[in-house]
Structure 1
Amino acid sequence: MSVPLVPLLIDGDYCAGSTGVTVPVVNPATEEVIADLAHASVTDLDRALAASARAFVDWRETTAAHRNAILVKAAYLIRERTEEIAEILTAENGKSLTEARGEVGFCADATDWYAEEAKRAYGRVIPARASDVRQITLREPVGVALGFAAWNFPAGNVALKMAAALAAGCTIIVKPSDETPATAIAIGRCFTDAGLPAGALNIVHGVPTEVSKYLIASPIPKKVSLTGSTPVGKLLQRLASETMKRCTMELGGHAPVLVFADTDIPNAVARLVSAKFRNAGQVCTSPTRFFIAREVYEDFVAAFITRAKQVRVGNGAEEGAQMGPMITARRRDTIDALVKDAVAKGADLRLGGHAIAGKGYFYAPTVLADVPDNARLMTEEPFGPIAAFTPFDSFDEVIGRANALPYGLAAYVFSQNPGTIARAGSALDAGVVGVNHTSVHEAETPFGGVNESGYGAESGIEGLDAYLRTKMLTEKYL
């Protein structure tokens, strides 16, 4: 059977690569090849760079109202095509259709948000020291942007970068993951069908290191936005430093969960099980290190296991499936190695801990209790369906253990004591903190980490600001 070609988008044209090189796109739930992915050659990348630079000259001069109108239409088309995009997303990523639909809805919300924020890129007037001088600041688009997106949220990751850059008046070249490229193309079509001029948005595919090195080395782009791992972020930041490109780095995490003795256990368990096994744990904000007050430790772990056993694992395209597969066989094997290491070092395996036989890269929902601090699982981001539990005895102890790693993306606190909540929220070294729930990223809220989880923010007013620069203009009246 022939499979469809996932094209490039260059200068308004959805096209094959100039060399004809393709790689297979695999459904992780069935291991079937579902598409061929066109890879960009150096010639193709040069075309994308030139198109972005040419389009920027005109796009930056469009009014905020005009950019708003195009983005509003794009958001409308995303919503109109929700089912189509969700089915593509599930086929190449594996998450359930329910999750995929929710992600596509987030894309539309974010695009609408940036459409409105385009009209609010305000400058200001600064009182001068002389009566014949006026001092004002202007907010200008930074230039051509590069967006590198991960596979775990193949719609949301690319839509955030597209919408923010375009709203600010920038043009953008997006490099999605080779595992999930068709979703990016489907989102891109919503923008181009909404009337976006040729060259304002380009989408390229290829070997990640080769594409990123070539694009970042060019003097044309002025901005880099990455959603990816910490090692990749460090590499791209080094490359960007050669031409002093501005960067936004949304990198990995290892989110601690602090469950205090006064917690509403049923609420906490329900929310944490849902968050833990969402997208098979392949979420940068996924709760991973569970620190539970010793007084409620065994009761909490038992309740968590009871609910985790109810999670239905299967092909995300099938009705009733709640948790899909790992993205690749390699990721599944990495998860299994982390579990085996933890057990070898004394952790108590209470649920799962094995790959699921048959087609697809499935791994069972897994719970480990009494995980020692020297287990790899406690220092390496698992990015999989593993919950690692350990008890704590005091506030200072749990804050110290939660902040012990170099990562600082998300953290969670469950307590009914306002004082405990306030102290923990202030003490946790994280970019986003969820208290008594796990929804830490909305279109209108800034999202980003600290330390080795990166810097800068997507979403919210901060997300638009990342694509703007400030110019100070001082005028003396003659």
Structure 2
Amino acid sequence: MYVNGEWILSNSGEYFTVNNPSTKEVVAKVPKANAEETKAAITGASDALKKWSLLTAEQRAKYMLKLRDLMLEYTEELATIMSMEMGKAYNEAKGEVVYAASFLTWYAEEGKRIYGETIPASAENKRLFVIKQPVGVVAAITPWNFPLAMMTRKLGPAMAAGCTGIVKPASQTPLTALAFAKLADMAEIPKGVINIVAGSTKAISDELFNNSAIKKISFTGSTNVGKELVRQSANQLKKLSLELGGHAPYIVFEDADIEKAVEGVVASKFRNAGQTCVCANRIYVHKNIKEEFAKLFVEKVKELKVGNSLAEGVDIGPLVNESGLEKVKEHVEDAVEKGAKVLYGGAEVKDASGYFYIPTILDNVTEEMKIMQEETFGPVAPITIFETDDKAIDAANNTEYGLASYIYTKDISRAVKASEALNFGIVGLNDAMPGVAQAPFGGMKESGYGREGGHQGIRDYLEEKYISLGL
């Protein structure tokens, strides 16, 4: 692990294994961090904070851009590591490296735009000011499905604001985080600014939440875990940013460009084998165009190549582990038992060495099926029909989640009204891939709170200080 600028082993001598989901083979053994190593990382970050926070925004930006350049230089190596440990198709993994680097580019510049205020005083002998300062040492708990991009989306604004941090990567994907730390070392980022500890989730998390030096924690993961972290944060009133589960509706209105709508849903639903919290999970198609939409959808999905994530030309790799595969199978079986029709797929890949499931399209799906109530996190696309705009919006909003949503229509009035009516933090309007570094990303309801990306993403890493000066 990478602690205070040094590569260290676990004091306990314990390791945990990382498996390739395409082959089920062990690809690495990683030192297992516990509370002791986490405490050392926090101490290192606290010591580094004093100097890092006093650097100018331009000085911090130079470090960040050097790290960005190294990420892009080593795109193929990072993509290979990512693909091996979590099964993301290699070309898609290369795309994630570029996306991850964009957050360092954006926040290296955004750090230069942290402005204060001068407020008109209510007395002649006073002057009133507001300044913004880094919140302090922060922690990032990152997910396995986007192991690099979710890290820079958190560390980018933190570093730009003058904070130092500790990253706890998912146990499935520590190698990507450690490779990033290697590049940070090569970029000569001052020791303690970035620390990586992977291992015992409870021991690390407990130390992060109980240690008063940690002022803010950013978490991406499941809603259930997010709720538990809210409870843990209450003891010290730590700042929290939570990007939690999603169950994105994908609404195709009668006047939509069907070809574009199909291309969009293929890109959204089957990216990362359906293992994204913003992918299209509930596909609502107007009854008058459903047959045409479904026919073209099947044709496009048949063209997708499933296989070892490192193999050439593969579009869809494996599910990350056995439990992920079992959940997909459970949702499909439940839907079929309740009357859904399999238009394509509907089974795991036979005689596969890893956790592969055929990209699947289900028709005649109804709201009582599990797949319409729970986040599947797999390559299964359920289609259901609607008759009126209001019914489509009501069905889309009928979920505890509120992260991403999608609309396809050519009618500008319908587009505006539907976008405003959807209770989701993100609306992709004729756009299935809305995520970019310069725009805010986050959810409503039980999909969490706080925003990452855009100028909004740096706010939670700053404290506003009011200064009243008597003359």
If the length of structure 2 is used for normalisation, what is the TM-score? Answer: 0.98
Alignment size in residue pairs: 470
Q: Is residue 375 of structure 2 the alignment partner of residue 385 of structure 1?
A: no
Q: How does 1:213-252 map to 2 (within 5 A)?
A: 213-252=206-245
- Mapped to 2, the partners of 1:68 and 1:348 lie a distance apart of 54
Offset at residue 25 of structure 1 (A): 0.3
Out of 145-154 and 122-131, give the one that drifted further: 122-131
Is residue 34–residue 200 contact of structure 2 (8 Å, CA) maintained in 1?
Answer: no
Offset at residue 312 of structure 1 (A): 0.4
Match of 1:434 among 424, 428, 431: 428
Q: How does 1:137-156 map to 2 (within 5 A)?
A: 137-156=130-149
Offset at residue 195 of structure 1 (A): 2.1
Offset at residue 247 of structure 1 (A): 0.6
Match of 2:284 among 276, 287, 291: 291
Q: Is residue 309 of structure 2 the alignment partner of residue 316 of structure 1?
A: yes
Q: How does 1:340-419 map to 2 (within 5 A)?
A: 340-357=333-350, 358-419=352-413
Match of 1:277 among 270, 280, 303: 270
- Mapped to 1, the partners of 2:266 and 2:35 lie a distance apart of 45
Offset at residue 62 of structure 1 (A): 1.3
Determine helix, strand or coil for the equivalent of 1:205.
Answer: coil
- Mapped to 1, the partners of 2:5 and 2:451 lie a distance apart of 29
Q: How does 1:254-265 map to 2 (within 5 A)?
A: 254-265=247-258
Which amino acid is 1:452 matched to? E
Determine helix, strand or coil for the equivalent of 2:402.
Answer: coil
Which amino acid is 2:405 matched to? A
Determine helix, strand or coil for the equivalent of 2:192.
Answer: coil
- Mapped to 2, the partners of 1:301 and 1:318 lie a distance apart of 29
Offset at residue 302 of structure 1 (A): 1.4
Report what 1:302 is aligned to: 295
Which amino acid is 1:155 matched to? L
If the length of structure 1 is used for normalisation, what is the TM-score? Answer: 0.97
Q: Is residue 465 of structure 2 the alignment partner of residue 474 of structure 1?
A: no
Determine helix, strand or coil for the equivalent of 1:466.
Answer: helix
Q: Is residue 15 of structure 2 the alignment partner of residue 22 of structure 1?
A: yes
Determine helix, strand or coil for the equivalent of 2:17.
Answer: strand
Determine helix, strand or coil for the equivalent of 2:289.
Answer: helix
Q: How does 1:143-222 map to 2 (within 5 A)?
A: 143-222=136-215
CA RMSD of aligned residues (A): 0.9
Offset at residue 377 of structure 1 (A): 0.7
Which amino acid is 1:400 matched to? D
Determine helix, strand or coil for the equivalent of 2:281.
Answer: strand
Determine helix, strand or coil for the equivalent of 2:242.
Answer: strand
Out of 189-198 and 153-162, give the one that drifted further: 189-198
Q: How does 1:455-470 map to 2 (within 5 A)?
A: 455-470=449-464
Q: Is residue 3 of structure 2 the alignment partner of residue 32 of structure 1?
A: no
- Mapped to 1, the partners of 2:405 and 2:200 lie a distance apart of 33
Determine helix, strand or coil for the equivalent of 2:414.
Answer: helix
Report what 1:59 is aligned to: 52
Determine helix, strand or coil for the equivalent of 1:475.
Answer: strand
Offset at residue 207 of structure 1 (A): 2.2
Offset at residue 41 of structure 1 (A): 2.6
Out of 38-47 and 385-394, give the one that drifted further: 38-47
| Unpaired segments ≥5 residues, structure 1 | 1-7
- Mapped to 1, the partners of 2:128 and 2:189 lie a distance apart of 34
| Unpaired segments ≥5 residues, structure 2 | none
Q: Is residue 122 of structure 2 the alignment partner of residue 129 of structure 1?
A: yes
Percent identity of paired positions between Structure 1 and Structure 2: 40
- Mapped to 2, the partners of 1:193 and 1:165 lie a distance apart of 20
Is residue 159–residue 187 contact of structure 1 (8 Å, CA) maintained in 2?
Answer: no
